[in-house]
Amino acid sequence: MRTLVVLLASAGMLLPTAALAETDAQCLMRWKAADLDANGSFDPATDSKDYAASVGGSGVSRDQFLEMCKAGRFAALKLPDNPAAGRDIGKGDLTAGPPLAEDVARKKLKALGYSDISNLALDDKGIWRGEAKIHDRSVSIAIDPQGDVISKSR
């Protein structure tokens, strides 16, 4: 019996699934690399990191992607090189830069569940600011060039 356990362990067959799990930061880094157009969903047609094979070749939402990542589905793939990609949406860490096009910003906000988006105005740092509704609440919103969003109740 001891020989069988040693053989299975050396073949990698006794590794617990938790060993494949990735951290929230790693999964967010992967998500930023996969969601190239920052629209809140992964499109296999624009896959540059080999995620499509791991998700069955179909599109998935941000939440589905993160769940797959935390379960270790992408552990065999190299992590993206950009550490800034690990920032989460809604943490208040907006970054200045060349702005998103207004239609892209609106599409991203809608993909995140915002409705009645109004008064969008671009500031001098490339951040779109405006008003919207989410969960029947009126909020002030901001979306930066990387597609990160913050909102505050009005």
pLDDT tens, residue by residue, 113-145: 889 999 999 998 888 999 999 888 898 999 988
Contact in structure between 75 and 61 (CB atoms under 8 Å)? no
Task: Give the integer Cα–Cα distance in Å for 39 and 3.
Answer: 52
CA dist 102 and 153 (Å) reads: 22
Rounded mean pLDDT, 49-55: 75
Query: pTM for the whole thing?
Result: 0.45
Contacts of 6 (CB under 8 A, 6+ apart): none
Residue 55 DSSP one-character state: G
Q: Answer whether 79's CB lies under 8 Å from 26's CB.
A: yes
- The token duo for 142 is 């901001």
- Considering 9-13, 47-51, 143-147, the range whose residues carry the highest mean pLDDT is 143-147
